[in-house]
Copies of this chain bind each other. A is one copy, B any other.
Amino acid sequence: MADALIIKARPLTAAAFAAYGDVLETRGRASEPMNQGWANRFRDVADVDVADNDGRVGISLVHSRADTTPVQLRLLERHPLGSQIFMPLSAHPFLVVVGVPGDVPSGDQLEAFISDGRQGVNYHKGVWHHPMIALEGASDFLIVDRSGPGNNCDESDIPGSGVEVCV
């Protein structure tokens, strides 16, 4: 795509991702002993926010085929009624492309991150995001998000002449 905007994906860190949601990882978090010392538990690694409009928590599994970089972005979506966790189960890296809540972001307002394949993400309510982009191999994810009445998915084209993400 000749005139496409190119975004370089950055490593996913809690600090860099804070405007968009939570990073589900143990790094940098406090833990407590569990199971008579056989394990350590890291509590509240993500804020599940699904109660709007009589929502409840839904648990899904997803199997995704892999894409190759550079990735041409197709669209953006947001969930106005709830947060959404993607936890990787296959240890493959994946791309996370996000924009802050509000008007549809243009390409130059998007940020791209790469998960190391062990880090999950939780999009906060209303955060614009590209559908997940699995890399390196077909990948499974656990989703924790909202089920319930009402429209909880807005989709939009990305204004402009195309956006690509490279790593």
Return chain B residues, CB-CB under 8 Å to A50.
57
Contact present for A60 and B38 (CB under 8 Å): no
A36 adjacent to chain B (CB < 8 Å): yes
Contacts of A43 in B (CB 8 A): 58, 60, 147
B60 x A41 contact (CB < 8 A): yes
Which of chain A's residues 39-85 have a Cβ closer than 8 Å to chain B?
Answer: 39-46, 48, 50, 56-65, 67, 74-75, 85
A38-B65, A64-B38, A89-B89 as given contacts; A144 in contact with B144, CB under 8 Å:
yes
Min Cβ gap A86→B in Å is 11
Q: Within the complex, what minimum Cβ distance (angstroms) separates A57 from chain B?
A: 4
Interface size class, chain A: 35 or more
Task: Please state if A59 and B91 are interface contacts (CB–CB under 8 Å).
Answer: no
From the candidates B34, B41, B62, B147, name the one contacting A39 in the complex (CB within 8 A): B62
Other A-B pairs, 8, CB within 8 Å; known A36-B75, A39-B64:
A38-B67, A42-B60, A42-B63, A44-B147, A45-B59, A46-B59, A118-B140, A144-B144
